[in-house]
Structure 1
């Protein structure tokens, strides 16, 4: 049980596995009013940067869950580095079936709503671990500018134009699901650049050291086209944000 190897190779140098900068991750923690003693559940936590840095900055504790053994090893090392290993724990499990043993103050899934087959199912899963009055955090793409055709959507690594709504449509969708939007922090182009461009350097260094690996041709082909596709398509059309919700 693990993530595809190609994904973990490209993002093995990342501490944040989404288009947020470290500063935006810190801003999100301040925006939602974290306080000492709060408990946070982070499903599909990646390398644990959110939970570890929030624990150090705000005195929160909690649990991160991920399917990647590579990322979880990095998360535990980060917890040791920041001196919060006694306050946070990381669990190797399929996040799509994980429910906290005790209700938490904040339940989050940033950029992996596939664990619930989309936003509605992911919110339902998160809510099973949330105390009454707690906060849900969901990170999700949206169209910053609607692509003119399906080819452009695919160039953004999105299956179809219907996969994501524009920002106002995404915000509007939370109400019928029974939630108020109470905060949001949106990624910026510089965050997309850091997230995507860092993959190129990691990939190139991996290729230099592993030229005979069976996966090398696939990663080589991706690196050949990724910078131009990012500049021409994804940077323009695709947005991403984290939305804080409370049940009505």
Structure 2
């Protein structure tokens, strides 16, 4: 079980594998009022930046689970670098099937709601890990504006408009599923640009260094087309993290 190699190449040396920057990640940790000793489960933890920096800054402990061996190794290295390896651990495996040792204060899934087949299923997975009164964090895209055509929809990595809600629709969905929205921190166009454009540079550097690799043709096509796809979608697609407490 592992992610395809092109995902690792694309992310390169990025530490945050979503359209957040370090400031927004820090703002989220402050906004949800983390307390020393809180426990957190991060499903789809990537390279562990959320858990590692929040353990350093807020004194929390927790576990991250990710399907990528490369990302899990990078997360463990980051924990050692920040001096928090005694409070956080990272597990390589299926996030949807992971069972924590006990209920946690915060359960998170930022940008990987595919683990539950979408938002409703992912909230169900997160809910079963929570202590009574605990909080979940869900990172999810939404439509900022209605996409004008199918080309824009495809540029947003969607197969149909119905794949995403608009912001009001997403908030309505949370309520319909029995959750109170208690905080949100949204990406902005600059943080989207930084995330997207970092991929282009990672791809170009890798292509320069590996012209004969079996993935070179595929990644060359991606680099050729992705900047235009990004500028087509940047007015239309938003992303944010939503803090929810069950009613």
Return the TM-score normalized by structure 1.
Answer: 0.98
CA-CA distance at 1:5 after TM superposition:
1.3
CA-CA distance at 1:60 after TM superposition:
0.2
CA distance in 2, matches of 1:5, 1:215: 9
CA distance in 1, matches of 2:99, 2:124: 11
- Matched residue, 1:247: 246
- Matched residue, 1:68: 68
Q: Which shifted more, 156-165 or 180-189?
A: 156-165
- Matched residue, 2:57: 57
CA distance in 2, matches of 1:149, 1:220: 26
Residue segments in structure 2 that go unaligned for 5+ positions in a row: none
Once the two structures are superposed, the pairs formed by residues 44-193 of structure 1 within 5 Å of their partners are 44-193=44-193
CA-CA distance at 1:151 after TM superposition:
2.1
| 1:221-244 deviation line (CA, Å, top 9, x unaligned) | 11011112211x221111000000
| 1:37-74 deviation line (CA, Å, top 9, x unaligned) | 00000000000000000000000000000000010111
- Matched residue, 2:20: 20
CA-CA distance at 1:12 after TM superposition:
2.3
> Counterpart of 1:75 in 2: which secondary structure?
helix
> Counterpart of 1:175 in 2: which secondary structure?
helix
Is 1:236 matched with 2:225? no
CA distance in 2, matches of 1:229, 1:178: 36
CA distance in 2, matches of 1:119, 1:38: 24
Runs of 4+ with >4 A deviation: none
CA-CA distance at 1:13 after TM superposition:
1.6
CA-CA distance at 1:6 after TM superposition:
1.1
CA-CA distance at 1:152 after TM superposition:
1.4
> Counterpart of 2:221 in 1: which secondary structure?
helix
Return the TM-score normalized by structure 2.
Answer: 0.99
Q: Which shifted more, 113-122 or 144-153?
A: 144-153
Give the length in aligned residue pairs: 247
> Counterpart of 1:218 in 2: which secondary structure?
helix
CA distance in 2, matches of 1:155, 1:19: 16
CA-CA distance at 1:159 after TM superposition:
1.2
CA distance in 2, matches of 1:101, 1:117: 24
CA distance in 1, matches of 2:43, 2:68: 12
CA distance in 2, matches of 1:13, 1:145: 32
The Cα RMSD (Å) is 0.7
CA distance in 1, matches of 2:194, 2:49: 15
CA distance in 2, matches of 1:207, 1:155: 23
CA-CA distance at 1:99 after TM superposition:
2.1
Q: Is the 8 A contact 1:12 1:71 kept in 2?
A: no
